[in-house]
Chain A
Amino acid sequence: EAQVTQNPRYLITVTGKKLTVTCSQNMNHEYMSWYRQDPGLGLRQIYYSMNVEVTDKGDVPEGYKVSRKEKRNFPLILESPSPNQTSLYFCASSRDSAWNTEAFFGQGTRLTVV
């Protein structure tokens, strides 16, 4: 089954404690991206990757890091989480960057930073 898998689905952590949210896709997609969803703001792009070792900033990259060492994985790293990073996070992948093919989303990660 074609899917994007995010882990964990729920996470509560404390300010400053480094964490990683994993994202993996099994469709050999080149394009992957991370979004955060906040009430009244919709989804905003954090980072995207057009292929292995190619990443770029989206709209709200501050406080986040990503890596793309393998095609299937695109982890999101919060080196020193802060309460304003409390949000719902989504990973997405598509065959190419033009979104003219369907994008697949993970099931979301609800992150709370206290």
Chain B
Amino acid sequence: AQTVTQSQPEMSVQEAETVTLSCTYDTSESNYYLFWYKQPPSRQMILVIRQEAYKQQNATENRFSVNFQKAAKSFSLKISDSQLGDTAMYFCAFYNNNDMRFGAGTRLTVKP
């Protein structure tokens, strides 16, 4: 079975700085999708970024980018120019063949 591991339960960063959240996963599949979701205090789940495993180019969405290392089964999220509104729980997720797996989450606090 696929597993997703987020080894950093909590992180903090100063406003305007850059922070990287780690995610590793375990799978024997070659084709799958990876996601980062943001959950602010409102509890809403918000898609931050998505990566398709067969695409070698790292996905980017404005201040958010990923470092996808398929051989290492690593999928880290980099947040540049951190803003107070980035304070949230961040979940890494893996999808393949109707199996959607989430990591335990990393609570990120952006400090003014």
Contact = CB atoms under 8 A, between A and B. Distances in A.
Nearest to A101: B50
A105 B102 CA distance: 14
B104 A48 contact: no
Interface string A74-114: 00000000000000101010000111101101011000000
Interface of B: 4, 6, 9, 33, 35, 42-45, 47, 50, 52, 91, 93, 95, 98-105
A100 B43 contact: no
Nearest to A103: B47
Given A42-B91, A43-B91, A88-B43, A99 B100 contact: yes
A90 B95 CA distance: 17
Chain A: interface secondary structure? strand
Contacts of A108: 43-45
The 6 closest A-B pairs by CB, nearest first: A105-B45, A42-B102, A43-B102, A99-B95, A108-B43, A42-B104
A44 interface: yes
Interface of A: 33, 35, 40-45, 48, 50, 56, 88, 90, 92, 97-100, 102-103, 105, 107-108
A44 B102 contact: yes
A42 B45 contact: no
A109 to B, nearest CB: 10
Given A56-B98, A100-B33, A41 B104 contact: yes
B53 to A, nearest CB: 11
B47 A45 contact: no
